[in-house]
């Protein structure tokens, strides 16, 4: 029996079957979020500051959720209730990525979605994957789209992203006070003891591995009609097919994901071959080699 739906009203609309896009950092989840955002009837946020506060609160401190399911779900719902509000200045609190996905120019003031025809909501905020359990508890009828990408490419992209690397500052890492810690991919005592000796590459690989394992557990917990997995490489190769899959899954007409050109996509998919050294690839293999092979990345 399906759990009862929680009634959330935003912009005078009932929020039912919201679509959330999750994945490891730089997995391509934002591309799917952009496709949803420009699709008719959808209002999708990508990094609204109120949403990010809740996301990082539960992602980085899983103990906040443990034993407090109802209260945590209420916090998550309240965050999205604010993030999904549409008004003259609502988009001023959004990230540049979210504003550009809506087609807003720098300095432009105005809502990124129209109330007329609005009937679906969604979110593709960074690191949403690390609080997926709390997210599903908050919205039992949610649809989850998880995007999987070659871990070597995600590691290469993370190394070039100052924001992604900032999570590894000693003053930020909280694996001693929060254990296990899915946000950092630290699952057992062996991971915690190994962490200080890991290179930045190894730590990035551990975060990717953690997201992949979370995705596997989520797949086992949810019905097939509630979760859909897309590979970034397939999406970049054939955006039209990805759009058709998303349309069938969500029940709404979805635009093709905005991905690089075929030539650029091929370069991005082989980024690790050009940017990672042999020793860096060895670090990834030690941490996440099993997951890479299980997903077919050779």
Query: Which pLDDT score, from 0 to 100, does residue 294 have?
Result: 95
Mean pLDDT by 10 residues, the chain (298 residues): 62 93 95 92 91 93 78 91 84 73 69 82 94 90 96 96 96 95 96 96 97 94 94 91 96 83 54 92 97 94
| 47 close to 275: Cβ distance less than 8 angstroms | no
Query: Which pLDDT score, from 0 to 100, does residue 261 have?
Result: 46
Supply the angle between the helices 278-294 and 151-159 in degrees, to the nearest 10: 140
CA distances from 165 to 119, 149, 157 (A): 37, 19, 10
The answer to whether position 8 is within a domain reads no
CA-closest candidate to residue 155, choices 218, 204, 90? 204
The answer to whether position 32 is within a domain reads yes
The answer to whether position 1 is within a domain reads no
Query: Which pLDDT score, from 0 to 100, does residue 265 have?
Result: 53
The answer to whether position 262 is within a domain reads yes
- Beta-strand relationship, 9-10 and 19-23: unpaired
Question: 284: Cβ–Cβ under 8 A, 6 or more apart, which residues?
Answer: 151, 152, 155, 201, 202, 205, 276, 292
The answer to whether position 50 is within a domain reads yes
CA-closest candidate to residue 47, choices 87, 9, 86, 91? 91
Query: Which pLDDT score, from 0 to 100, does residue 271 have?
Result: 78
pLDDT digits (tens, 9 = 90+) for 135-149: 999 999 999 999 999
The answer to whether position 10 is within a domain reads no
Structure tokens given for 290: 């099993």
Give the chain's domain count.
1
Supply the angle between the helices 29-37 and 239-250 in degrees, to the nearest 10: 70
State the DSSP string of 151-163: HHHHHHHHHT-HH
Asked whether the CA dihedral 241, 47, 24, 281 is positive or negative, the reply is positive
pLDDT digits (tens, 9 = 90+) for 218-229: 999 999 999 999
| 103 close to 34: Cβ distance less than 8 angstroms | no
Report how far residue 1's alpha carbon sits from residue 106's, in angstroms, rounded to the nearest whole number.
Answer: 47
The answer to whether position 4 is within a domain reads no
The answer to whether position 237 is within a domain reads yes
Structure tokens given for 138: 């908050």
Cis peptide before 82 (omega within 30 of 0): no
Query: Which pLDDT score, from 0 to 100, does residue 244 have?
Result: 96
Q: What is the CATH number of the domain that holds 248?
A: 3.40.50
Structural domain that includes position 270: 18-294
């Amino acid at each position: 029996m399906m759990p009862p739906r929680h009634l959330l009203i935003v912009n005078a609309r009932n929020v039912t079957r919201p679509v959330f896009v999750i994945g490891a950092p730089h997995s391509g989840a934002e591309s799917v979020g952009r496709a949803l955002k420009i699709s008719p009837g959808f209002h999708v946020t990508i990094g609204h500051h109120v949403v990010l506060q809740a996301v990082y609160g539960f992602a980085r401190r899983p103990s906040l959720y443990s034993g407090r399911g109802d209260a945590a779900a209420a916090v998550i719902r309240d965050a999205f209730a604010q993030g999904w509000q549409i008004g003259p200045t609502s988009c001023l609190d959004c990230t540049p990525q979210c504003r550009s996905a809506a087609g807003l120019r720098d300095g432009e003031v105005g809502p990124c979605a129209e109330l007329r025809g609005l009937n679906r909501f969604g979110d593709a905020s960074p690191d949403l994957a690390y609080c997926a359990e709390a997210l599903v508890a908050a919205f039992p009828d949610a649809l989850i789209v998880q995007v999987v990408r070659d871990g070597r490419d995600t590691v290469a992209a993370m190394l070039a992203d100052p924001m992604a690397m900032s999570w590894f500052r000693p003053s930020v890492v909280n694996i001693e006070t929060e254990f296990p810690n899915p946000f950092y991919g630290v699952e057992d005592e062996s991971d915690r003891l190994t962490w200080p000796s890991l290179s930045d590459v190894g730590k990035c690989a551990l975060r990717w591995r953690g997201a992949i394992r979370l995705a596997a557990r989520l797949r086992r917990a949810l019905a097939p009609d509630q979760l859909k997995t897309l590979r970034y490489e397939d999406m970049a190769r054939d955006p039209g097919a990805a759009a058709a899959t998303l349309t069938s899954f969500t029940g709404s007409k979805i635009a093709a994901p905005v991905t690089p050109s075929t030539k650029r996509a091929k370069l991005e998919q082989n980024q690790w071959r050009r940017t990672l050294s042999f020793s860096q690839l060895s670090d990834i293999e030690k941490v996440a080699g099993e997951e890479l092979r299980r997903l077919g990345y050779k």
